[in-house]
């Protein structure tokens, strides 16, 4: 059976979803971080926790100020924050580019502007928060490659935003899907993403 990527009901053969044109630190020593936003952080976090080489994923907020980095404020959509995840990974095992591949192909729909499914507002926007010019270059080139390949019917709307700060969310949000697998939202939104990542990237999954 061929492995496929599915976004918003669309099925995309894996061999049609391009590998990144170049990777950031495909080899190296020491852990690196990537901050990504793609809708509800519970679901994006759950996907990245499955990947080999990912040491830790923290749900949190990026794009706004410390004073408004709390769930109640962010839910208003008025803070500038997006629900985001900080992915701490070993670049000797998985590259930044490969994290982006999973992000764009499985973790969310990068063609939806300021929403993911029924979750609407700028706090649910698709964004790559880059820490270095190199991270920006990799993400920018990859978005261009995806659009030029015509993978999606609509263009990628993922914003590239400089990372000012990342603020960890409240403790009850951390590993929410793992702690509450039968919660209705998790079953409806996170579980299909987890199914996709297991089917599409079996070679990237943790073995234990």
The catalytic position among 5, 40, 43, 75 is 40
Scored b (16 or more CB within 10 A) or e, 166-186 reads bbebeeebbbbbeeeeeeebb
DSSP per-residue codes, 30-67: S-EEEEEEES-HHHHHHHHHTBTTEEEEEEEEESS-GG
**Annotated catalytic residue 75:** no
Element (H, E) at 13: strand 10-13
Contact in structure between 119 and 38 (CB atoms under 8 Å): no
Query: For strand 126-130 and strand 159-162, is the pairing parallel, antiparallel, or unpaired?
Result: parallel
Catalytic residues: 40
């Amino acid at each position: 059976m061929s492995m496929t990527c599915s976004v918003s009901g669309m099925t995309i053969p894996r061999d049609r979803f391009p590998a990144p044109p170049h990777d950031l630190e495909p080899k190296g020593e020491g852990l690196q971080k990537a901050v990504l936003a793609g809708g509800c952080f519970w679901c994006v976090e759950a996907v990245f926790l499955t990947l080999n080489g990912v040491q830790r994923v923290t749900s949190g907020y990026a794009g706004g100020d410390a004073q408004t980095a709390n769930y109640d404020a962010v839910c208003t959509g008025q803070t500038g924050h997006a629900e985001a995840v900080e992915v701490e990974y070993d670049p000797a095992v998985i590259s930044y580019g490969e994290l982006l591949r999973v992000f764009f192909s499985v973790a969310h729909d990068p063609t939806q502007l300021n929403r993911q499914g029924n979750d609407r507002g700028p706090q649910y926007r698709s964004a790559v928060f880059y820490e270095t010019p190199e991270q920006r270059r990799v993400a920018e080139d990859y978005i261009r490659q995806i659009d030029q390949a015509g993978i999606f019917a609509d263009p990628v709307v993922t914003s590239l935003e400089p990372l000012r700060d990342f603020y960890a969310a409240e403790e009850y949000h951390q590993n929410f899907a793992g702690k509450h697998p039968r919660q209705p939202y998790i079953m409806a939104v996170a579980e299909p993403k987890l199914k996709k990542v297991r089917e599409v990237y079996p070679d990237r999954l943790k073995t234990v």
